[in-house]
Structure 1
Amino acid sequence: MRVRSIIIGAAMAVALAGCSTIGQMRIFSDDYGPVADAGYQLPRIPISKVPTKYHRQIVRYDTKEKPGTIIVDTTNKFLYYVMPDGEAMRYGIGVGREGFEWHGTARVALKREWPTWTPPGQMIKRQPELAKWANGMPPGLMNPLGARALYLFNKGGDSGYRLHGSPEWASIGHAMSSGCIRLMNQDIIDLYNRAEVGSKVIVM
């Protein structure tokens, strides 16, 4: 009877944590509801329309990189935040479309909540309608950087690439961006709260 009570208690704890457990995975599919944040109201994401593999989840992940490292798997469209004991928080991502892919190592140099988005000059040349934002697009629900952004620098300085939120949840799992790595807004908030300035970022 005591064993049964312990099992029931453990199951209730998982339910209260807002996640489910499948084997070694804990999936946080219930964490995509509306969010009030810094005066903005992020809408609920219809997460049932996003493949389950792209929902935020804790998974087994073997790596020699130390906890706190961010590893971006552009092929499989996953971002891993390395945790202790052989685990990682895994997020679904959208990546650069053909011709805009990139790989390498960088570090998180800056973190910004509700950042301003300034399109690069090359992007404005390709899309002249973006010239109106040459001095920066104010933060907001439709801002391409979403609710948070992590700015990636390398030995040459600002790489121009970001890990950022996006209102375009349907783009997760696809190659559609101009090179930056995008996450659902609820996920970038979670990653922002975990990652530290100076964190190593590996893009594969």
Structure 2
Amino acid sequence: MTRGKDRDLDAAPAQFTRRAFLVGSAALIGAAGLAACSPTGMSMAEAERIYGPLPNERFPVPAVNIAKVDPKYLRRRVRYDSKEPVGTIIVDPKHYYVYRIEGDGYATRYGANVGRAGFVWSGEAYIGRKAEWPVWTPPKEMIARQPEAAPYANGMPPGLNNPLGARTLYLYQNGAYTLYTIYSTIMPETIGKGVSSGCVGLLTQDMLDLYDKTPVNTKVIVLKA
């Protein structure tokens, strides 16, 4: 298994506190306006377009509140050294990123949240199944841990409140489901954080982008946290 290398991470400055980020962002917007372009990401105008509402979905998806997302977690094309074939998905739970290898030393990078399973499971897998607006059925282990999930033992219908969201990619090994998923979320405040349950979540707008480019049998590498 090869581990890719994100050159942006090598050059990243020390992390700022959330308060410092908010104060700095406010100052930047005040000085340069909403169309100002960050040196490390997309312009605010572009972000509002990419993360805008999705009214034509089965369950209309609201726009992302960009103010709740650290700009470093917004989708972008980055230099990423990897020998993996185009289309390979690499999950980096330590840095809260998911990469799609694009070839020629580049990858599309998505910000993610990571749940318990995302910190304890690593290895190679493949996309064994895909689903749009899936039914969520909590595993017995989760119900034992979180009794509030018991009412959904037979499945929660799809919808905006469903934990798997609009799209889900299911990871398999040797024909067996690993219980590990990459799913979509409408909760921007969770991106770049550990969440109480689940595996790895992307903003719905990012997940639709990844989902549409990812066929069944796509290789997935989950790095150690």
What TM-score does the superposition give when structure 2 sets the normalisation length? 0.76
More displaced stretch, 36-45 vs 118-127: 36-45
In the superposition, relative to structure 1, how do residues 99 and 193 fare at CA in structure 2: closer, same or farther (>3 Å)?
closer
Q: Distance in 2 between matches of 1:57 and 1:64?
A: 20
Structure 1 stretches lacking a partner, 5+ long: 1-19
Paired position in structure 2 for 1:29: 47
Q: Distance in 2 between matches of 1:193 and 1:129?
A: 33
Question: Structure 1 residue 187 and structure 2 residue 192: aligned?
Answer: no
CA apart distance, 1:189: 0.6
In the superposition, relative to structure 1, how do residues 144 and 99 fare at CA in structure 2: closer, same or farther (>3 Å)?
closer
Q: Distance in 1 between matches of 2:114 and 2:152?
A: 23
In the superposition, relative to structure 1, how do residues 165 and 104 fare at CA in structure 2: closer, same or farther (>3 Å)?
same
Structure 2 stretches lacking a partner, 5+ long: 1-36
Aligned mate of 2:188, from 162, 166, 169: 169
Q: Distance in 1 between matches of 2:222 and 2:47?
A: 25
What TM-score does the superposition give when structure 1 sets the normalisation length? 0.83
Q: Distance in 2 between matches of 1:136 and 1:123?
A: 13
The one-letter code matched in structure 1 to 2:216 is: V
Question: Structure 1 residue 67 and structure 2 residue 90: aligned?
Answer: no
CA apart distance, 1:100: 5.1
8 Å CA contact 1:101–1:179 kept in 2: the answer is: no
CA apart distance, 1:131: 1.3
Paired position in structure 2 for 1:96: 115
CA apart distance, 1:193: 0.7
Paired position in structure 1 for 2:169: 150
Number of equivalences:
185
Provide the alpha-carbon RMSD of the alignment. 2.2
**Higher percent of residues as strand:** 1
Question: Structure 1 residue 118 and structure 2 residue 131: aligned?
Answer: no
**Higher percent of residues as helix:** 2
CA apart distance, 1:199: 0.5
8 Å CA contact 1:100–1:179 kept in 2: the answer is: no
8 Å CA contact 1:98–1:175 kept in 2: the answer is: no
CA apart distance, 1:137: 0.4
